[in-house]
Structures are given as structure tokens and as C-alpha cells.
Amino acid sequence: MNKVTVAVIIIITALFGGLVVSSFLQKQADTIDYSQYDSTKIIAADENNGNVADHVRGKTDSSVVLVEYADMQCPGCASVMPRISELTKLYGDRVAFIFRSFPIQGHKNARAASAAIESASRQGYFWDMVEIMYSNRAGWINLDGSSRTDEFARLFKTVAPDGDEEKFRSDLSDENIEKKINFDYALGANNDKITGTPAFLINGKAIDMTEVKNMDDIRNFVEDGIKNALKEAGLPSEPNYDSIVEVTE
């Protein structure tokens, strides 16, 4: 392996938080038949996912479904999220955007952070919590124990000043939230062959990351996929530029 190859690998790893195969073990993987689930569609709540349905932005019965598998600690996921949020505004109800957790092994706070967004979801603040967790990622990725919980609770109260902090803290360790995280991960690993994050699929077709050099590339590749899927569905494929927002790092 020459120096150039090594340098490329280092750059890609830095961008995407390690696009590596995770050996994370799911407690449910040996007991759930994931082939019964169509991961290209919105998955309803049931016992296997802790009675927590997919988290969706946009029109739930859209013929175009964008799925992201993301690690909350992944720097690439954090950087690309504002761009994906922009796309959800540009295409509105023509696209359903599903966010699923895929905590990578070696990211010590990834699963705890996934629990935090699920806990916030129980009070109606899932997307707000995802965004504030990513934008404040540097403040919690190295924390442990009560310090980590306190920081998560602080961020929750920032987006939900009238929210129930005690309930939020209690829900962090709820077994159904653990089920949901395990379910999302196993669904991605088994059905969609996800090996790293961020990973995107449109109507079940994976976005090819091999030519990606930066976060704007991912955004553009995802938008191209959305446009193609809209055309195939016979729907208008141009974005609504009146909804565009400025994206910053």
C-alpha cells in the first residue's frame, strides 16, 4: 500500500467517522426475522422495535422514500445533517425522510446519544434533539456517566424548555428505547447491508459513496437520487427554491 493510498484512507475516515464494518452485537438479532420488514418503507411500531415507529419528515405516503442510517457521534453524519435538512425543505411532501440509528462500534457515546434522541422523541422533540446533538457534538462525545447525562438533559431543555426533564432522564434507560436502537441497527445491517455511516438509500437503492470527496458531494448525490426517483414516479423533480436556507459548517 503506497503513501497516497494511505492518505486517501485517512481522509475518508476523517470525513465519515469511519466507514468500517461494525461488529456491534444486537441482543435481538438471533430472535427476529428481519426479512419480514420492508426497509424501503416506513416501519410501524411493533414489539420488535420497542413499539417505536420510524421517525419521518415529509409525507408518510410519499412514493419517494429517503432513508439515512446515522451514528450520532459520527462527524460526517453531523456535518451532512444540515444539508439533508435543507433537502427535506426543498422537496417537502414529495419525499419521506426516515432517520434510523446505526451506532458504530468504537464510538463510546453513540448508543447513549441515540437513546437521548429517542427519549426526546417521547415528548415530541426528536428532530430538534437530533439537530442540537449534532451541532453540539464536541461537547458530549468524550463525557462519561452522569456528566454525559447532564449534558444531554441540558440540550433537551434547550430545545424543550417546557419539557419534562425528569422523564427525559428516566427514559434514557428504558428497555423499549434500547430495543428501538437495536432494531434500527440490525435492520440496516441485515436488510440494507449497511457497514458504516452516513449511509443513504432512496427507494431501497443505496447512494454510491465511492466518488464522495466532501459533504457537499453527499448532498448533491442524494439530491440527484431524489430527482431521479421523482421522475420515475411521474412527479415534478425540481426543488422549491423558495424554501432554500443557507447551510453553514
pLDDT at 17: 42
Domain membership of residue 43 (yes or no) is no
- Could you tell me what percent of the chain has a pLDDT over 90? 82
Q: Select the more confidently predicted residue: 197 or 2.
A: 197
15 has a pLDDT exceeding 60: no
Q: Are 77 and 134 in contact (CB under 8 A)?
A: yes
Domain membership of residue 96 (yes or no) is yes
Domain membership of residue 87 (yes or no) is yes
| Structural domains in the chain (count) | 1
- The CA-atom distances, in angstroms, between 201 and each of 12, 48, 208, 214, 247 are 20, 22, 9, 18, 22
Least confident of 9-13, 33-37, 81-85: 9-13
Question: How far apart are the C-alpha atoms of 16 and 142, rounded to whole Å?
Answer: 18
pLDDT at 30: 62
Tens-digit pLDDT profile for residues 205-232: 999 988 899 999 999 999 999 999 999 9
pLDDT at 31: 86
Domain membership of residue 169 (yes or no) is yes
Average pLDDT over residues 55-62: 95
What's the pTM? 0.85
Measured distance between the N- and C-terminal CA atoms of the chain, rounded to whole angstroms: 33
Domain membership of residue 13 (yes or no) is no
Q: Select the more confidently predicted residue: 12 or 105.
A: 105
Detail the DSSP E strand segments found in the chain.
Answer: 55-57, 65-70, 96-101, 199-202, 205-206
pLDDT at 165: 98
Domain membership of residue 16 (yes or no) is no
95 has a pLDDT exceeding 80: yes
pLDDT at 242: 77
pLDDT band at 241 (very low <50, low <70, confident <90, very high): confident
pLDDT at 8: 41
Exposure string for 143-162, b = 16+ CB within 10 A, e = fewer:
beeeebbebbbebbeebbee
Question: How far apart are the C-alpha atoms of 199 and 188, rounded to whole Å?
Answer: 9
Determine phi and psi for 57, rounding to 5 degrees: -110, 145
The domain that holds 185 is classified in CATH as 3.40.30.10
DSSP percent split of the chain into helix, strand, coil, nearest 5: 50, 10, 40
pLDDT band at 105 (very low <50, low <70, confident <90, very high): confident
Mean pLDDT of the chain: 88
User: Which cell goes with 138?
Assistant: 464536541
Angle at 27 between CA 184 and CA 100, to 5 degrees: 10
Q: Are 49 and 179 in contact (CB under 8 A)?
A: yes
Which residues on neighbouring strands pair with residue 122, listed in sequence order?
none
| Boundaries of domain holding 216 | 56-237
CB burial of residue 249 (10 Å; 0-12, 13-18, 19+)? exposed
Domain membership of residue 174 (yes or no) is yes
pLDDT at 10: 34
